[in-house]
Structure 1
Amino acid sequence: MKRELGGLLLFGINREQAAVAIGVSPTTFDQMVADGRMPQPRMPSKERYVWDVEELAEAFRRLPHRNSKLDGVSSSDNPWDRR
């Protein structure tokens, strides 16, 4: 699967780009990395973090679909619907 930006093949992207790529805010992306739903970044230098675009794509495809169960609760089970 090709990942390109302006004709340049992408291997790694920064935090903000990774969040945009999967459709969440940078804060939500940080939480997903912390809890293991998204991969840990790679470190090309001491203070630079980048995410492997293929690892992100794989992790994204492992996320549950809307009506799948997450932590034993159906995502379509909204407590507000029961009120």
Structure 2
Amino acid sequence: MSRIPEILSYPPRGMSREEAARYIGVGTTKFDEMVSDRRMPKPKRVDGRVVWDRLAIDAAFSDLPTDSENRIDAILSRRRIGA
């Protein structure tokens, strides 16, 4: 049996800008735009290195609207349910 490469066994918690962009399926320019407009989280600093937290990226990605739902519709539907 072949062993699973260690990188696949232990996904990184901290990712570089390039890795974080690739992780969500966009280029670095789009990722920078998403960080700037707060759709994606800001990075953390580890000494001189800038890293993005994979779990924070997962949460931010989950909050992005889907094709079938936009933010206004989602807000209005929640308001109707609670009314």
Q: Where in structure 2 are there 5+ consecutive unaligned residues?
A: 1-5, 74-83
Superposition TM-score, scaled by structure 2 size: 0.72
Q: Percent identity?
A: 40
Deviation sequence 1:13-71 (CA, Å, 0-9, x none): 0000000000000000000000000000000013x21000000000000000012225x
Q: Where in structure 1 are there 5+ consecutive unaligned residues?
A: 74-83
Letter aligned with residue 51 of structure 2: V
Structure with the larger RCO, 1 or 2 (CA within 8 Å, 6+ apart): 2
Superposition TM-score, scaled by structure 1 size: 0.72
Runs (4+) of structure 1 exceeding 4 A deviation are none
Q: Which has the higher strand share?
A: 1
Greater alpha carbon shift after TM alignment, 19-28 vs 7-16: 7-16
Q: Which has the higher helix share?
A: 2
